[in-house]
């Protein structure tokens, strides 16, 4: 018998009976969270508008934010997208299954609830056996945003999903922790030049080998970096300050801020990615310096850990915006209430 938590079934992806049950719930228009190689997704039958609408209610997600359709392979693509450009075929051959989402021209069969009324649709083929098997068993594309309450860090474990959504969704299919830990790269191929809408698991440098003219929207316009700015994304309850610049200057600023906030009576933790020493401080190390995969994999879990420990102020070290670092910094910036550039040159 599967366990229930506050009315949400906890299914085990290793049990064939549980996989079949998850597929049944989805076919009947229910909501099932499932693992992908990036983060857990909150799945619904992507061609059933009522089921898709339930996703927005469960997450508290604004209806104007469209969803990604998850496919079990390029063969399913023709059911949801049309006029697929040759460059899409090349990218799919190179990066699918994997963390690359392509924005393409939609087919009319795709519900407006999925695309938020846009004439485009976002699609990806996840590189996770549980996700692929589930989609194949349902036999339809699954609409799936990250399975967190809107604004919270994305879930990388079934328990993170339950923390946010128990009692609000029918089931979570537990397939263990996700490997990559950060969402897919979102690339819009309906504009010329192609536009990177969200940095993610496939680095921009890898895309450039196929699309030399790709423009990074964030990079092109320059992220807002003023103190006091407020992003409602990926955010822990803790007041997060991101400090960027040369390593020594960042460490010095973080030591100064830690002392200041502690003096104000706040509990402080440091999110560290370099080998800098912070004697006497609570340090949550995201990974060893330069190990970007490990840092990405621990990022959201660590942001949630801050809340579990009741940390009030988190001071995060910035990293170079190269490779996976571009996506990691994007998430840290959006989670931060304040971004401080220190020591002149940016890192
Ligand atoms: O790794 C991922 O992509 C995860 C897993 C579960 O697959 N999913 C995910 O979904 O991160 P979500 O909903 O949290 O983020 C989807 C992003 C949003 O930024 C959304 O605005 C964008 O993709 N998006 C979806 N459809 C779009 C469209 N037609 N045009 C432009 N952007 C779109
Ligand atoms: Mg999300």
Ligand nearest the Cα of residue 154 is: 2
SS3 assignment for the chain: CCEEECCEEEEECCCHHHHHHHHHHHHCCCCEEEECCCCEEEEEECCCHHHHHHHHHHHCCCCCCCCEEECCCHHHHHHCEECCCHHHHHHHHHHCCCCEEEEEEECCCCCHHHHCCCCEEEEECCCCHHHHHHHHHHCCCEECCECCCCCCCCCCCHHHHHHHHCCCCCEEEECCCCCCCCCCEEEECCCCCCEEEECCCCCHHHHHCCCCCCEEHHHHHCCCCCCCCCCCCCCCCCEEEEEECCHHHHHHHHHHHHHHHHHCCCCEEEEECCCCCCCCCCEEECCCCCCHHHHHHHHHHHHHHHHHCCCCEEEEECCCCCCCHHHHHHHHHHHCCEEEECCCCCC
In the predicted model, residues of the chain with pLDDT beneath 50 are: 219-231, 346-347
- Looking from the CA of 186 toward its CB, the CA atoms found within 13 Å total 17
Reported pTM:
0.94
CA dist., res. 261 & res. 167, Å (int):
37
Cβ partners under 8 Å of residue 220, min gap 6: none
Which ligand has the shortest distance to the CA of 66?
Answer: 1
| Closest ligand to Cα 63 | 1
CA of 262 to the centre of ligand 1 (A): 38
Q: Looking at ligand 1, which atom is closest to the CA of residue 38? A: 1
- Beta carbon of 148 within 6 Å of any ligand 1 atom: no
CA 59 from centroid of its chain's CA atoms: 14
- CA-144 nearest atom, ligand 1: 6
pLDDT of res. 41:
98
Pocket lining: 98 vs ligand 1, CB cutoff 6 Å: no
- Contact (CB, 8 A) for 115 and 66: yes
Cβ of 331 below 6 Å from ligand 1: no
Question: Separation of 265 CA from ligand 2 center, angstroms?
Answer: 33
Task: Provide the residues around ligand 2 (an ion) whose CB is within 5 A.
Answer: 146
Give distance in angstroms: CA of 145 to centre of ligand 1: 6
Q: How many CA atoms lie within 13 A of 187 on its CB side?
A: 29
Burial of 92: CB neighbours in 10 Å, binned 0-12, 13-18, 19+: buried
Instruction: Determine if ligand 1 sits within 6 Å of the CB of residue 39.
Output: yes
Tokens of 38: 């990036």
In this predicted structure, what is the pLDDT of residue 218?
58
pLDDT for 233: 78
CA-based nearest residue to 19, from 9, 29, 4:
9
Ligand 1 pocket test, candidate residues 37, 38, 52, 67, most atoms within 8 A of CB: 67
Residue 2: what pLDDT?
Answer: 83
Quote the ligand 2 centre to 183 CA distance (angstroms).
8
Q: Atom of ligand 1 at shortest distance to CA of 201? A: 1
**Whether the CB of 178 sits within 6 Å of ligand 1:** no
186 C-alpha to ligand 1 centroid (Å): 7
202 lines ligand 1 (CB under 6 A): no
> Which ligand is closest in space to the CA of residue 39?
1
Give residue 1 CA to ligand 1 midpoint distance, Å: 34
What is the CA angle 37-178-157, rounded to 5?
A: 140
Give yes or no for residue 44 CB within 6 A of ligand 1.
Answer: no
Q: Are strands 81-82 and 100-106 parallel, antiparallel or unpaired?
A: antiparallel
Over the stretch 210-242, which tens digit does the pLDDT of each residue have? 999 999 875 444 443 333 333 457 888 999 999
Cβ proximity of 207 and 45 under 8 Å: no
Q: Is the CB of 67 under 6 A from ligand 1?
A: yes
Alpha-carbon distance of 169 to 57, in angstroms, equals 10
- Closest of 160, 170, 65 to residue 118, by C-alpha: 65
């Amino acid at each position: 018998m599967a366990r229930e938590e506050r009315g949400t079934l906890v299914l085990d992806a290793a049990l064939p009976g549980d996989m079949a049950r998850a597929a049944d719930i989805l076919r009947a228009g229910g909501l099932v969270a499932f693992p992908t190689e990036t983060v857990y997704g909150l799945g619904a039958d992507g061609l059933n508008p009522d089921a898709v609408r339930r996703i927005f209610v469960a997450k508290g997600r604004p209806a104007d934010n469209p969803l990604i359709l998850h496919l079990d392979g390029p063969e399913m693509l023709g059911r949801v997208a049309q006029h697929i450009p040759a460059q899409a075929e090349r990218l799919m051959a190179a990066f699918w299954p994997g963390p690359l989402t392509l924005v393409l021209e939609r087919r009319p069969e795709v519900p407006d609830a999925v695309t938020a009324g846009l004439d485009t649709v976002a699609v990806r083929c996840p590189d996770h056996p549980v996700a692929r098997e589930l989609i194949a068993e349902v036999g339809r594309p699954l609409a799936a945003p990250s399975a967190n309450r809107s604004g919270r860090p994305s879930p990388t474990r079934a328990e993170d999903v339950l923390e946010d959504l128990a009692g609000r969704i029918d089931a979570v299919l537990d397939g263990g922790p996700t490997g990559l830990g950060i969402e897919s790269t979102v690339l819009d191929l309906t504009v010329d030049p192609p536009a990177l809408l969200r940095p993610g698991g496939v680095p921009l440098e890898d895309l450039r080998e196929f699309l030399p003219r790709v423009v990074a929207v964030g990079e092109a316009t320059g992220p807002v970096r003023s103190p006091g700015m407020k992003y409602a994304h990926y955010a822990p309850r803790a007041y997060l300050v991101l400090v960027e610049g040369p390593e020594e200057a960042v460490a010095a600023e973080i030591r100064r801020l830690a002392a200041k906030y502690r003096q104000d009576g706040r509990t402080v933790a440091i999110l560290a990615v370099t080998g800098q020493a912070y004697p006497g401080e609570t340090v949550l190390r995201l990974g060893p310096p330069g190990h970007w995969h490990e840092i990405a994999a621990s990022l959201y879990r660590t942001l949630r850990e801050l809340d579990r420990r009741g940390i009030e102020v988190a001071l995060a070290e910035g990293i170079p915006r190269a490779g996976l670092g571009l996506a990691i910094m994007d998430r840290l910036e959006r989670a931060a209430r304040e971004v401080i550039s220190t020591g002149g040159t940016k890192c």
